Amino acid sequence: MALIAREAAVIAREQAADLRHKNADLRDQLADQREEVLRIAAERRAHSDTRLLEANEHLVVAAIRSQTMTEAAEHAAVQMSLKAERDFLTGLPNRALLADRLAQSIALAQRHGKRVALMYLDLDNFKEINDSLGHTIGDRLLQSAARRLEECIRHSDTVSRQGGDEFVVLLSEVEAAQDAVLAAEKLIKAMAEPHLIDGHRLSVTLSIGISLYPDDGADAEAILTNADAAMYHVKRNGGNSYHEFGPD
């Protein structure tokens, strides 16, 4: 009887040992499975992070490209506007921009009870220089003359090239005709200094016609036409002077 009990106890211990081994194997398997799950999850997170990083990089590149294209379009628009409003040779305002500024100046003069002075200018002797020395020298002389004219006026005023060797100076909000006369004398004196171009000392003078708003015309076209007429009066009398428009 005791022998049977001892054998049963041994069998029970062996079964318990086998159960412990099986439990240990199961725990190992569970641990392996957990590691595999964690590894797969980590790989997925890494892959997801990589895709997110790539997506962010694509967004940044797209934003930079969009900004660059926008800036290029704005620059092109500015350049087109400048070409439409500026003289190609001197960079001065052209006829269209002058007309706009003259209209604005007349509107301001009406509001503030001021005058607007317009001076039509022609370079004396320019044709002889251009014909004898060539168009390249002639073009550089026009550029030099344009710079001198700009140096003689206020920032609020305008120098415009009308074409050829003709320029227009717009003086906004002047008090009286004497203001335009003083400006004309200053321009004539400045232009009298020789222009040094490619070893040549080139001398040109100015014929200037002066017209005032509202004294000599009720609108921009009349003021411009009358200043032009006054300038031709100076040319017929030898140039290198100025003349104010009058009924004569």
> CA 168 to CA 109: how far, in whole Å?
19
- Is 216 among the catalytic positions? no
* Distance separating alpha carbons of residues 118 and 151, to the nearest angstrom: 17
Q: Which two tokens stand for residue 219?
A: 């609108």
Under 8 Å between Cβ of 187 and 172: no
Torsional class of 199: left (φ above 0), alpha (ψ -120 to 50), beta (otherwise): left
From 87, 122, 157, 165, active-site residue: 165
Residue of 94, 134, 116 lying closest to 170 (CA atoms):
116
CB atoms within 10 A of CB 141: 21
Q: Supply the residues annotated as catalytic.
A: 165
